[in-house]
Structure 1
C-alpha cells in the first residue's frame, strides 16, 4: 500500500473492478485512492504539476497552496493539468489508518487495512467487495454493470461480507437479493 513519497495509494473505482473481472468498460478518468491522512503529501507531490480541487457537498473548489485547508467532509480530490484541460484523476479519499479502514458512510463497517487491497503485477487495487459497497449508493448503470460483472467471481467470504455491509449501511438495497 505504499506509493513512494506520496504515502499509501491504490487503484479504486471502475478500474479496480475491471482488473478483478477482466471485463473492460469505458472510463472517464483514473480513480486512485489514498488515505485521508496522506492528502498533504499528495498535494506537495503534485504542486506545480496538477491543479487540485476538493469535492465537497456537490461542489468543487480549488485548493490553492499547501495551507488551503481540506474540508472535513471532502470525499474526493479532482486533478487536472489546468482549468482548460479535462479532469484526469478522481482521487478517492478513504478513512484508513496503518491498521484499519472504516467505511465513510457508516463507521460500524470496518476492516483491517491489509484486507481492503489485492495486488496484480505489483499494483494495489481496492478489493471488489469494498469497491462495490462504495458504488452501492449511486446505483448508476455503470455501478450495476460492475456489480453484475463481479457477482459470479466473488468467493463466499467476500460475498458474505458485502451482503452484511450492505445490510448494515444500506438495508433493502436491491443487490442484497442477489448476494
Structure 2
C-alpha cells in the first residue's frame, strides 16, 4: 500500500489488474508471475482493488524484459527507499539493494507496474530471504485464466516480516492446507505471532 508520504515524493499509481499485466507481456518469452495481494485473492477466489500490482521476474532475465519493453516505458530502480532511472544505455548493474523496477510511460504519467526481481529462474523457485530454500517453480505457482500467481504461503512468507497482525493471517488461512502451513511455519522466527495459528490443523 502506498503511503501519503510516498505519493507526495514519487507520484501516484494507476489501477492495474492481472489482465493488464498479461496484455503488457503477451508474447514475452521470459518467465513471469503475479505476487502480492493479487496472488492471495486468487487463492481466496475473490478479487479486490489494490493500490498496485507486483509482476515477478527472475533477476537474471532483466535484460530480456528491458529488450521486450523497449523505449515504450521508463524504468526506475527502487532501492533503499530511493528511485533512480535505469536509462536505455545503462548496463544491468543495478544500485546495491535494488529489489524492484518501477514502470511508467513518461515523466507525466502515473506509475503502472512494479517488477520484483527474484533469485528464481525458469525452473527453480528460490526464497529471496534465504536462497537455500528452493522448490520447483511449478510447485511455487498456481495458474488462473492463463496467468501464473505465487501460491499464498509464498506471499505470506514475504509478508511475515511486516505483518504481526494475527487477524490479517486469519483471512488467508483457509487457502492453506497442512503442508502449506508447515512450510510457512518453517520460514518464521521462533517468536513470530503467526506460529500458534499455523499449528492448528487446516479445517
TM-score by length of 2: 0.76
Question: Which residue number corresponds to residue 48 of structure 1?
Answer: 71
Q: Which sits farther off after the overlay, 34-43 or 147-156? A: 147-156
Compared CA separation, residues 126 and 31, structure 1 to 2 (3 A): same
Question: Which residue number corresponds to residue 162 of structure 1?
Answer: 184
- Over residues 26-69 of structure 1, what are the superposed CA-to-partner deviations in whole Å (9 max), with x where a residue is unaligned? 31112111111111111111122111111112211110015333
Q: What is the deviation of 1:94?
A: 0.9
Matching of residues 1-150 of structure 1 within 5 Å:
4-68=27-91, 69-71=93-95, 73-139=97-163, 145=168, 147-150=169-172
Structure 1 consecutive aligned stretches of length 4 or more whose deviation exceeds 4 Å: none
Q: What is the deviation of 1:6?
A: 4.2
Tell me the distance in 2 between the aligned counterparts of 1:95 and 1:3.
Answer: 23
Runs of 5+ in structure 1 lacking a partner? none
Provide the alpha-carbon RMSD of the alignment. Answer: 2.3
Q: What is the deviation of 1:16?
A: 0.6
Compared CA separation, residues 46 and 140, structure 1 to 2 (3 A): farther
Tell me the distance in 2 between the aligned counterparts of 1:160 and 1:117.
Answer: 17
Compared CA separation, residues 17 and 106, structure 1 to 2 (3 A): same
Q: Which has the larger radius of gyration?
A: 2
Runs of 5+ in structure 2 lacking a partner? 1-24, 199-203
Q: What is the deviation of 1:3?
A: 6.5
- Checking the alignment, whether the CA contact within 8 Å between 1:23 and 1:149 is kept in structure 2 is no
- Checking the alignment, whether the CA contact within 8 Å between 2:34 and 2:148 is kept in structure 1 is yes
TM-score by length of 1: 0.86
Tell me the distance in 1 between the aligned counterparts of 2:89 and 2:133.
Answer: 32
Compared CA separation, residues 171 and 84, structure 1 to 2 (3 A): farther
Q: What is the deviation of 1:72?
A: 5.1
- Checking the alignment, whether the CA contact within 8 Å between 1:129 and 1:158 is kept in structure 2 is yes
- Checking the alignment, whether the CA contact within 8 Å between 1:94 and 1:104 is kept in structure 2 is yes
Residue number among 191, 197, 203 corresponding to 1:172 in the alignment: 191
Tell me the distance in 2 between the aligned counterparts of 1:3 and 1:101.
Answer: 22
Q: Which sits farther off after the overlay, 72-81 or 38-47? A: 72-81
